[in-house]
């Protein structure tokens, strides 16, 4: 197969040729504070979905909003952001909070064409119990597609 620009049409948009429907995840907790690199483009990447799951026992020292940022190293852009409520204490936890932060449907959410750029996730809070799990669906692309 030659190294050329191959575009696939879907839902009224042209999509770049991709390598794989890939998944990467990281779990923040009191001993894993991040940041964490979720994707390293080879040479580039596209993001199709961002996910957040908050454990029902998740706490921080003071109740309040915590912010998750997905940042592209090549451009410096925050390509996704989620704000989540994390209490200081929990009583009778039952169900994890689950949210699809961003989903592109048949297209892509963010496209990085910078060689070897990364997608890094950070949480601006220190957890005292429980965990926050984040994940991305992505694909690798060539620089010229």
Question: At the topology level of CATH, where does 7-141 sit?
Answer: Jelly Rolls (2.60.120)
Say what the pTM is: 0.78
* Residue pLDDT, tens place only, 88-101: 998 776 666 666 56
Is residue 64's pLDDT more than 90?
A: yes
Give the side-chain half-sphere CA count within 13 A for 2: 3
- For 70, counting Cβ atoms within 10 Å of its Cβ (0-12 exposed, 13-18 middle, 19+ buried), the class is buried
* Residue pLDDT, tens place only, 103-127: 655 566 788 888 789 999 999 999 9
* Residue pLDDT, tens place only, 21-50: 789 999 999 999 889 999 998 788 888 888
Q: How far apart are CA 82 and CA 98, in angstroms?
A: 12
Is residue 63's pLDDT more than 90?
A: yes
């Amino acid at each position: 197969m030659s190294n050329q620009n191959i575009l696939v049409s879907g839902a009224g948009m042209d999509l770049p040729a991709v390598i794989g429907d890939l998944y990467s995840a990281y779990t923040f907790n009191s001993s894993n504070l991040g940041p964490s690199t979720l994707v390293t483009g080879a040479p580039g990447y596209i993001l199709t979905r961002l996910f957040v799951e908050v454990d029902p026992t998740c706490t921080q020292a003071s109740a309040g909003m915590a912010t998750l940022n997905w940042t592209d190293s090549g451009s410096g852009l925050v390509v996704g952001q989620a704000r989540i409520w994390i209490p200081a204490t929990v009583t009778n936890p039952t169900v994890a909070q689950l949210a699809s932060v961003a989903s592109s449907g048949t297209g892509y959410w963010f496209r990085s064409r910078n060689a070897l750029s990364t997608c890094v996730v950070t949480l601006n809070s220190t957890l005292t119990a429980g965990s926050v799990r984040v994940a991305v669906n992505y694909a690798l692309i060539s620089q010229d597609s």
